[in-house]
Structure 1
Amino acid sequence: MAIESEVLVIGGGLGGLTSALAAAREGADVRLVSYKQSTLRQASGLVDVLGYTPNGDGPLTDPYEAIPSLPESHPYRKVGVQTVRNALSLFDDAVPTYEGEHTDTNALLPTHGGSIKPTARYPAGASAGLASDTRDTLLVGIEEMVDFDAPHVAAHLDATGVPFDVRGETIRFPGDLRADAKVTRYAKLLDTNSEVAVRGRMVPAREALAQRVNPLLEGEERVGFPAILGDDNPGAIRDALGDHLGVDVFEVPMGPPSLPGLRLEDALFSALDEAGASIETGNPVVDFEGEDRIEKVFIEKNGAKIPNSADQYVLATGGFVGKGVESDRDGVYEPVFDCHVPHAADRYDWFEGELFGDHEFARYGVATDDDLRPLDANEHSEFENLRAAGSVLGGYDFAAEKSGSGVSIATGYAAGQRAAQEAR
């Protein structure tokens, strides 16, 4: 017997989670299925709307102002500026620990590589580190964490012309952690505030960390750490460190595995749970039935194919990285429903010869109508009850534009809301 729902969302990334949340808040009976863990844990946790135009102009001050000038094939043009705003409002309500909702202007945040990134929403833990802030800054690296070289990051930031003096220092993290410890181990130690040995006596971890940083201060008014400052209650840890040091403390977003990304994932899953959506992860969609309309999909579980049926479906399986779009010698394709992916016939036209050139494959994905229904090669709807959202969509280069999270949220919101309304 098939598992039934009104809206079935396939994919557990930011687009899928937003789709499911939007549909559930519209009152639909929602089921989300995802094969893999969310890609949010690989992301910085920042939510970008649009940092640069497709021509490379930027960083943009007002991302909403630039949307009407984007190519017609861009997902933002499909959903419109107001839908982007509405989607961000849904996000703000679901994730109240983020900031940036008070303005249309992009914030500028330092990254772990020493660059400045324009972003529309950011964790509260990063707010004291804004690059527009003129307060002098000390960046603290952890000796065991080689992917955050604080002196190197500080030098790069200084070279960008930030309006403050910035230095970097490296310390050994207090406690007996292995050199290859995961970021969650650092976070757990600070969450529990367990005692660690410091010069022959036991000291709470937060105090011990502050003691290692305090002698390094040279009058700076804020201190930035890599994003390891707790998982359960990072705000309390920042406050404790700030009290010990007499400065404002912030986190610098990191690469994968990303603690801010994990926190964001937890917040969205909690919001979905509160909205009453059903969630299943770890099992792939391997087949479907239907021609003009999808009747059911089949989820592989312990060697069996379990049917799941719904009135409306949302495809949010990701792009090339998430395997929502794949390629082989014969071309580029979408593997769940075999939706058409427009692409050049000659593989040599997919990319440029230069590493940082304008690679066409970066914009490959499913093409849709203005209602986000995937289109076939003749520009007819593939299935009347299927919509697509997130990085499975084509028509934009999220890495160059710094638009990935925003597109996922905006199209996820639109696809989920419209699917719920049509399922009534």
Structure 2
Amino acid sequence: MAIDSEVLVIGGGLAGITSALSAARAGADVRLVSYKQSTLRHASGLVDLLGYAPDGEGPLVDPYAAIPDLPESHPYRTVGVDGVREAMALFDDVAGDYRGGHTDANALVPTHGGTVKPTARYPASAAAGLASDDRDVLLVGFESLSDFDAPHVAAHLRAAGVPFDVRGVTVRFPGDLNADAKVTRYAKLLDTDGSVTVRGRERPARDALAERVNTELEGEARVGFPAVLGDDAARDVRESLADRLGADVFEVPMGPPSLPGLRLEDALFDALDAAGARFETGNPVVGYDADGDSVASVSVEKNGAEIPYAADEYVLATGGLVGKGVESERDRVYEPIFDCHVSHPEDRYEWSDFDAFGDHAFARFGVRTDGDLRPLDGDGAPEFENLAAAGAVLGGHDFAAEKSGSGVSIATGHAAGRNAARRARSR
């Protein structure tokens, strides 16, 4: 017996979650299935809309103004400017403590690599660190956290020409955290303001950290830390440190595992739960059955058995080449669940450029869709009447070069979920 729903979303990343949330808020009975845990925990927590044009122009000030000039194959052209705005409004409603929704302009956010990234939405924890602010900055790294080299980051920011003086120092984190301690251990200690031993004395962790950093301050108005400043009580941790330091405190977005990403994941899954959507992870979708020009069910592998999941509408949000939502062999590129068509040059040597930073065709590989985001076959007809696609599985854009990955996932996820709910409810 099949497990039924009106809309079935395949994939638990940002596109899949947004699709499920959009469909559920439109009144559909929604189930999300994902093989792996959400990839958000590996993301910086920044939400990029469009940082650079496909020709490399940028950083762009207003990403919305650039959308009409994108190639017709770009997913933003399918969704349209109004559709992107509606999707970002949904994100703003559910994402929790995020900033950037007050303006169309991109913010410039320093990263742990010392670059300045144009982004449309950013966690409140990063707000005091914007590169457009001309107040001086002290960056603080920890000896036990090698992923954030504060002097290195500061040097790169100075080379990038930021409009403020920036220094970086490395200090010992209070207590006895090991060099291989997980970022969640730092966060937990600061969340609870647990006791640490400093020179033989027990001290609250926040007091001890502020006391150490105060010895390094030279009048800077802002102090930046790696993104480990709490989880459940992140705002309280920042405010406590700011009060003790007499300076605004911010987090610099980090690579995986990412606490800002985990915080965003929690907020989005809480919103899914509140909307009544069901979700499950850990079991892959391994095939499908068709009924004419429609998908009748998909097969989910559980403990060696293939369980049918049936729905009126399906949304494919399994990621691109990196996420295995698009696969390649020596002579072909394809989508592995429904075998959707993926356009690519016949000559494999044309898939990439000899220049590492050149124009790589593979970066734009993915399914092409109609106006309802239904994947198209090689002749330009919908693969299935009741299958839509969203996120990185879509072709026609280079999300890494454009800094558009999160925005495309949110915009196409919102549109695919809303359209799926509308079609399901009209049956």
Aligned to 1:201: 201
SS of residue matched to 1:167:
strand
Instruction: Note the C-alpha offset of 1:146.
Output: 1.4
Aligned to 1:75: 75
Amino acid at match of 1:271: A
Aligned to 1:417: 418
Write the distance in 1 (CA, Å) between the matches of 2:370 and 2:145: 46
Measured against aligned partners, the alpha-carbon deviations of 1:248-286 in whole angstroms (never above 9, x if no partner) come to: 000000011111111111110000000000001000001
SS of residue matched to 1:203:
strand
SS of residue matched to 1:164:
coil
Aligned to 2:393: 392
Instruction: Note the C-alpha offset of 1:222.
Output: 0.6
Aligned to 1:14: 14
Aligned to 2:268: 268
SS of residue matched to 1:365:
coil
Write the distance in 2 (CA, Å) between the matches of 1:164 and 1:120: 22
Select between 112-121 and 321-330 the one with higher mean Cα deviation.
321-330
Aligned to 2:298: 297
Aligned to 1:369: 370
Aligned to 1:229: 229
Amino acid at match of 1:24: A
Q: How does 1:136-175 map to 2 (within 5 A)?
A: 136-175=136-175
SS of residue matched to 2:215:
helix
Aligned to 1:213: 213
Amino acid at match of 1:412: G
TM-score scaled by length of structure 1: 0.99
Write the distance in 1 (CA, Å) between the matches of 2:348 and 2:183: 40
Amino acid at match of 1:398: F
SS of residue matched to 1:216:
coil
Instruction: Note the C-alpha offset of 1:160.
Output: 1.0
Structure 1, unaligned runs of 5 or more: none
State whether structure 2 residue 349 is matched by structure 1 residue 315.
no
Q: CA RMSD in A?
A: 0.7
Measured against aligned partners, the alpha-carbon deviations of 1:196-247 in whole angstroms (never above 9, x if no partner) come to: 0011111111111111111000000010000001111210000010011111
SS of residue matched to 2:416:
helix
TM-score scaled by length of structure 2: 0.99
SS of residue matched to 1:218:
coil
Instruction: Note the C-alpha offset of 1:330.
Output: 2.6
SS of residue matched to 2:206:
helix
Write the distance in 1 (CA, Å) between the matches of 2:157 and 2:89: 32
Aligned to 1:103: 103
Write the distance in 1 (CA, Å) between the matches of 2:252 and 2:13: 22
Write the distance in 2 (CA, Å) between the matches of 1:195 and 1:233: 16
Aligned to 1:134: 134
Write the distance in 1 (CA, Å) between the matches of 2:32 and 2:166: 45
Write the distance in 1 (CA, Å) between the matches of 2:250 and 2:352: 39
Aligned to 1:184: 184
Instruction: Note the C-alpha offset of 1:321.
Output: 1.2
Structure 2, unaligned runs of 5 or more: none
Write the distance in 2 (CA, Å) between the matches of 1:151 and 1:295: 57
State whether structure 2 residue 345 is matched by structure 1 residue 344.
yes
The question of whether the paired residues in 1 share the 8 Å contact of 2:96 and 2:264 is answered with no
Instruction: Note the C-alpha offset of 1:344.
Output: 0.8
Select between 388-397 and 186-195 the one with higher mean Cα deviation.
186-195
Measured against aligned partners, the alpha-carbon deviations of 1:159-204 in whole angstroms (never above 9, x if no partner) come to: 1111110000001111221111111111111111110001111111
Write the distance in 2 (CA, Å) between the matches of 1:352 and 1:233: 47
The question of whether the paired residues in 1 share the 8 Å contact of 2:296 and 2:310 is answered with yes
Amino acid at match of 2:205: A
Amino acid at match of 1:387: A
Amino acid at match of 2:300: I
Aligned to 1:330: 331
Measured against aligned partners, the alpha-carbon deviations of 1:66-107 in whole angstroms (never above 9, x if no partner) come to: 000000000000010000000000000001310000000000
Q: How many residue pairs end up in the alignment?
A: 424
Write the distance in 2 (CA, Å) between the matches of 1:216 and 1:390: 44
Select between 73-82 and 321-330 the one with higher mean Cα deviation.
321-330
The question of whether the paired residues in 1 share the 8 Å contact of 2:110 and 2:116 is answered with yes
Q: How does 1:50-129 map to 2 (within 5 A)?
A: 50-129=50-129
